[in-house]
């Protein structure tokens, strides 16, 4: 390696180069000046190939650095649009808190519902969907069973109650829904 980090150019008088020249000599009889001309042509070709190699190596290094910079930029600013959209939700909450001193319960409830609707819309625009499985069959990939509760009204193995809703981001589970799963009622209560 040279001081600038580039590989050093091989010496033209290496054993491989001598073998190449001998191969050229063996293929066609070359006399004095012709031999020097052939050597100069081979040296020019070697210099050209070496230059191409250095340019290609530099281009690969530039692409690697650019890709690394792009990945870092994407990682740092991926949430920029999401954050900007959430600012409207924060503003709505702040206005609700400021108005809470002089507002009645009905207007506070209406403001809270509007803020929740605004937040749900923002989440939906960014691919976050709600998992609310009440009455559906229990799915261990989307639901977390907190307990099982006997129920004569619900199908065994179905979600009886949703304790906490789950969320999915573009098909990937963010948080499972925490649920109570229906179990078969005990035999003595089924006879009554």
Cβ proximity of 118 and 92 under 8 Å: yes
Q: Can you give the residue range of the structural domain that contains 103? A: 79-126
Cβ proximity of 134 and 154 under 8 Å: no
The dihedral through the CA atoms of 145, 150, 155, 156 has a sign that is: positive
In terms of Cβ atoms closer than 10 Å to its own Cβ (0-12, 13-18, 19+), residue 183 is: middle
Q: 43, 60, 77 — which closes off a domain?
A: 77
Residue numbers of the chain with a pLDDT score lower than 70: 1-32, 189-192
Same-domain status, 32 and 59: yes
Same-domain status, 20 and 69: yes
Same-domain status, 90 and 141: no
* pLDDT value of position 101: 82
Strand locations in 56-171 (E): 128-131, 143-150, 159-164, 166-169
* pLDDT value of position 145: 95
Local structure of 148: helix, strand or coil: strand
Same-domain status, 25 and 39: yes
pTM of the model: 0.58
**What's the length of the chain?**
192
The count of structural domains within the chain is 3
Cβ proximity of 134 and 161 under 8 Å: yes
Q: Is residue 2 part of a domain?
A: no
Same-domain status, 189 and 132: yes
* pLDDT value of position 23: 53
* pLDDT value of position 190: 46
Q: Is residue 162 part of a domain?
A: yes
Q: Is residue 189 part of a domain?
A: yes
Q: Is residue 102 part of a domain?
A: yes
CATH number of the domain bearing residue 135: 2.30.22.10
Instruction: Give per-residue pLDDT as tens, 84-96.
Output: 889 999 999 998 8
């Amino acid at each position: 390696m040279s001081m600038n980090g580039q590989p050093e150019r091989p010496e033209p008088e290496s054993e491989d180069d001598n073998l190449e020249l001998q191969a050229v000599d063996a293929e066609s009889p070359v006399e004095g000046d012709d031999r020097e001309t052939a050597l100069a042509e081979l040296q020019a070709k070697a210099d050209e190939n070496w230059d191409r190699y250095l340019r290609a190596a530099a281009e690969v290094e530039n692409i690697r650095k650019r890709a690394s910079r792009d990945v870092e930029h994407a990682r740092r600013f991926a949430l920029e649009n999401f954050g900007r959209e959430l600012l409207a939700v924060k503003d709505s909450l702040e206005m609700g808190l400021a108005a809470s001193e002089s507002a009645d319960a009905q207007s506070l409830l209406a403001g809270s519902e509007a803020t929740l609707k605004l937040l749900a819309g923002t989440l939906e625009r960014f691919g976050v969907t709600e998992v609310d499985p009440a009455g559906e069959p229990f799915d261990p990939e989307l639901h977390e069973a907190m307990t099982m509760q006997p129920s004569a009204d619900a199908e065994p193995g179905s979600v009886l109650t949703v304790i906490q809703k789950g969320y999915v981001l573009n098909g990937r589970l963010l948080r499972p829904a925490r649920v109570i799963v229906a179990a078969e009622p005990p035999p003595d209560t089924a006879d009554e």
